Structure 1
């Protein structure tokens, strides 16, 4: 469908990009998915978002909402629909330095947020890549570089400014629209369009950063030692592990971040990692937090990384689970397997407090397959891992069907999410997909 210029309402003049516009190639796609929308709207306010929704409703166009464009489902773009790209809404303001309260617009990217907060000595745990958009991560969960110390990003959100599917703008916090506030912290996609967040940042400047490479045997003993070390580690320590295989050899590449600039705290944080297995290499530094999500991460998303991803949460790293992870990373049609430590502060929050309900697990496991294998290769690699998982994180799922929805939102949490989406978006304007 072609959106003609005379169909654009006057408040959106100059803010609608259609095929033929020289901006279109840089706005049509996400990081993983090439799209062909009829138009991309670049709103600058909640009122502009409401106008975009009205335009989509009047023209019968499906709607996709984008903050950054890393979303693995590809649903931040579409074909022949309307994309609401929040990239122009990227202000970052410190509201109260004493309490660390900041206001961050949903279209900001986390590299820019880190850079804006650094002069104030503040930081937010916010994913692992600076190009990720605030809105997508902060409505789904937020597993960042100091998640065990800080908690999830959603755990520090104190209010959300939201445009609902009918175009109305509301503030959601514990006293105003508490049900919406609950849903926007973990299940925001399909419930409302987040415009801005009030988030409690913490004082943080420099951090300890270590990178280790460890040999992994087929039984995954090093992974069990890693999980055991993280269970006892100080909360300042958060780690991510990437498994890589070459022939019969598998290695674990560990990135460890200690949320402190104190040499004593950094040493205490890193010591549990020294006994994981045969050390193939390593280095450690004290770096500013901005070095973890640098501005050189910022780039247009043009579908340059086609990939299929799924994930699951582990409560315990059993021998069978560890063996299955090594097999997934090293067997025929192997996937890229990542492990993220959670637990710590994440598990302090009551499971019913937010729409992210996974508050007892300790490890997030992510598996990704690339062309030409795609989804079939991922399913084959994941088959042995899946029985060991307990729940899932919505932001690392390429195929969020009904089964994936129930893994991300189990039991009463899923029932409540479904009911609230029906209340706030009865016509499914923000949910042109199945769930």
Structure 2
């Protein structure tokens, strides 16, 4: 696509608006604040413009304008992991929320979804055919961004990362080309988008495998947080015995005393174990017996369809002002648990609503499944923690608590991080081994040497 000269950024942006199927919103326009808002409300996004695209042609036109005006383009669907983008000066925020089509092919067991689709839409559509995708815990997370970053689902130990099961995509490159990428077309780019993040091209449509799962045993067990040491130790020991058809996490929860929180949880601090077992009733009961022996105060584990798994993790039902971050652990020893509980356990005063450790292994282990840039998580457990950041003071308090937690767990920290759980600006921790990072940079240099496409976790195109 040829580059049309514009009289400068302002004039170029105004000209773009007349070329779009979608909508462009500039600072001061009606709807500006709504258009620029991420799901993560603690992030105050202030781009040069927001473009609400409806087609690959809109994306190509936006990239053409950005190049002509000396701007960059940051694609975004829901904006769950918006903080690492940093300030958006000189950047067009390209929102894909209006590209939310979902098509299910029940014969081939494939989903083809637009860049704005969220997991709740895909799960509901797939369930009509007795199928399930590798969805995250929250129904309003964008499918494309989640998958490009790896995608850790409740079926992760049996099926690996969502990125492992991508079969193809439609992308727009920085120079405005609309390409089909798969194993036979643009294989280097296909490799990069499977787990390597969104820095190489803008994905407008994604195709991936679905699985014939119609029922699982899933739910949570809750105890008062004072029993955290006993419960988490039992859970840690239990994870060493479970089959790959079981994915679980241990979690410390501190609920604020808000009216919209159910009375069972309101204002309380609890320790919980959440589990999803692809097992029959008798096998699941036998498997869970060691946890139930501890006498949970509340037990919600029951047979449910996969489309209801988005209720399990108690994720916020809508946009929320929060700060969170993740890390990975090579081991969860007695010493690790003691360090964790010292800074976030029952005797700690911390502003973290959740501190959780997810059991990895199985199909997530290195070499277990083929895939793209990131096809596994080389750790024993991955953690995510976060708290509400309604103002500057509460945000600072949550950041301090996350730093303290990371420092306490440093002796057991795995060398690599998980891209989707890193929600603060990069601090130099890698998401992939050096040789993979070098190849990602080579692909970036081949497809976006000017670094026009801006991702929340960037890839430097420099040689």
Task: Tell whether 2:400 aligns with 1:383.
Answer: no
Match of residue 264 from structure 2:
none
**1:256-315 Cα deviation digits (max 9, x unpaired):** 22235x32343244335335x453332322222222237x989774xx3131x3222223
SS in 2 for 1:428: coil
- Return the offset for 1:251: 3.8
Residues 339-348 or 214-223, more deviating: 214-223
Task: Tell whether 2:138 aligns with 1:129.
Answer: yes
Task: Tell whether 2:410 aligns with 1:395.
Answer: no
Equivalent runs, 1:365-380 vs 2, <5 Å = 365-369=383-387, 370=389, 371-380=395-404
Equivalent runs, 1:112-191 vs 2, <5 Å = 112-191=121-200
Instruction: Give the Cα–Cα distance (whole angstroms) in 2 for the partners of residues 5 and 392 of structure 1.
Output: 37
Give TM-score scaled by structure 2 length. 0.82
Q: Match for 2:357 among 319, 339, 353?
A: 339
- Return the offset for 1:332: 4.8
SS in 2 for 1:120: coil
Q: Between Structure 1 and Structure 2, how many residues are aligned?
A: 424
Give 5+ residue unaligned stretches, structure 2: 1-8, 256-267, 390-394
CA root-mean-square deviation: 3.0
Instruction: Give the Cα–Cα distance (whole angstroms) in 2 for the partners of residues 6 and 337 of structure 1.
Output: 46
Match of residue 280 from structure 1:
297
Equivalent runs, 1:279-428 vs 2, <5 Å = 279-293=296-310, 301=319, 304-307=320-323, 309-330=324-345, 331-333=348-350, 335=352, 336-347=354-365, 349-350=367-368, 353-356=371-374, 358-369=376-387, 370=389, 371-390=395-414, 391-401=416-426, 403-404=428-429, 406=430, 408-428=431-451
Match of residue 93 from structure 1:
103
Instruction: Give the Cα–Cα distance (whole angstroms) in 1 for the partners of residues 344 and 241 of structure 2.
Output: 26
Instruction: Give the Cα–Cα distance (whole angstroms) in 1 for the partners of residues 87 and 144 of structure 2.
Output: 15
Instruction: Give the Cα–Cα distance (whole angstroms) in 2 for the partners of residues 72 and 48 of structure 1.
Output: 22
Q: 1:314 to 1:377 in 2, by over 3 A?
A: closer
Match of residue 63 from structure 1:
73
Q: 1:150 to 1:353 in 2, by over 3 A?
A: closer
Match of residue 244 from structure 1:
253
Instruction: Give the Cα–Cα distance (whole angstroms) in 1 for the partners of residues 56 and 316 of structure 2.
Output: 25
SS in 1 for 2:148: helix
Residues 370-379 or 157-166, more deviating: 370-379
SS in 2 for 1:8: helix
Q: 1:298 to 1:244 in 2, by over 3 A?
A: closer
Are the equivalent residues in 2 in contact too, given 1:328–1:382 (CA < 8 A)?
Answer: no
**1:305-349 Cα deviation digits (max 9, x unpaired):** 131x32222232111211122223133545431112222222274
Are the equivalent residues in 2 in contact too, given 1:73–1:397 (CA < 8 A)?
Answer: no
Q: 1:270 to 1:100 in 2, by over 3 A?
A: farther
Give 5+ residue unaligned stretches, structure 1: none
Q: 1:299 to 1:112 in 2, by over 3 A?
A: same
